[in-house]
Amino acid sequence: MKTLLSSLLSAVILASPLRAANAPKPAPAPAAKADNPAAPAQAKDGFKSDDERAIYALGYQIGRNVGPFGFTTAELKILETGLRDSALSKPAAIDVGLFAPRINELLDKRMAAAVAPEKAAGKAFAEKFAHEDGVRPIPNGGWYKTLQEGGGAAPAAEDTVKVHYRGTLRDGTEFDSSYSRNEPATFPLKGVIPCWTNGVAQMKVGGKAKLVCPSDVAYGDAGRRPMIKGGATLIFEVELLEIVKLEAPKAADKPAKK
């Protein structure tokens, strides 16, 4: 099984918007002129070249991938020392092979410590919501409240739907919104989190609803970094616009008989 240590840099590379090897290279951008208003703004970031900015981007991505460890400032200095020694091909200060297996153990311990209070806060939030007028449980987990009755058909779990939605954390922080993109989202109900699959199936076309989704029917203990912590309870306002009827694939033409 691939360990976190061996997958870390792979995750960094995969997360980077790399160009395909056989794709044509873009034409070089013209040099910024002195009167180019973008040039002074770019210089304010403290970097002297795009190579330096790319290196910073690499470091930032590595930091995002180790974020779930919740390192302290002192621990980050230790991590920095390890990165530097390895990058400069210096001898390791310890037997890395001996301690590498403990990396995943450390991650599990840190994540469990962070997830427990998040789950507790989410449970309290959901229980309070559950006592509001008109709230009912969603099959298999979560809570549902009708904001506007719909007059159309109700989707089945196997259907594809078109919706507008807004997703927030318990404190109201928005992490996703089709309204912000000015474009509805279309997806199969079986391809989303269980709270959505079962919650949207309670709606009718033209209706609006509020879903409160505990982590066990959302993104679990892993969350979706950086916005959604492990164990987070999520809140969605959903507007069901349409049940999308997908065209069946056309049968291939049979060869004419001779």
Annotated catalytic residues are 165, 175-176, 193, 219, 236
Give the three-class secondary structure for 235.
strand
- The token pair at 33 is 């002129």
Q: How far is CA 210 from CA 29, 132, 135, 144, in A?
A: 47, 12, 9, 6
> Residue 18 carries which side chain, given as an amino acid letter?
L
- The token pair at 68 is 């779930």
Give the three-class secondary structure for 177.
strand
**Cα 47 to Cα 53: distance, rounded to the nearest angstrom:** 6
- The token pair at 155 is 């989707």
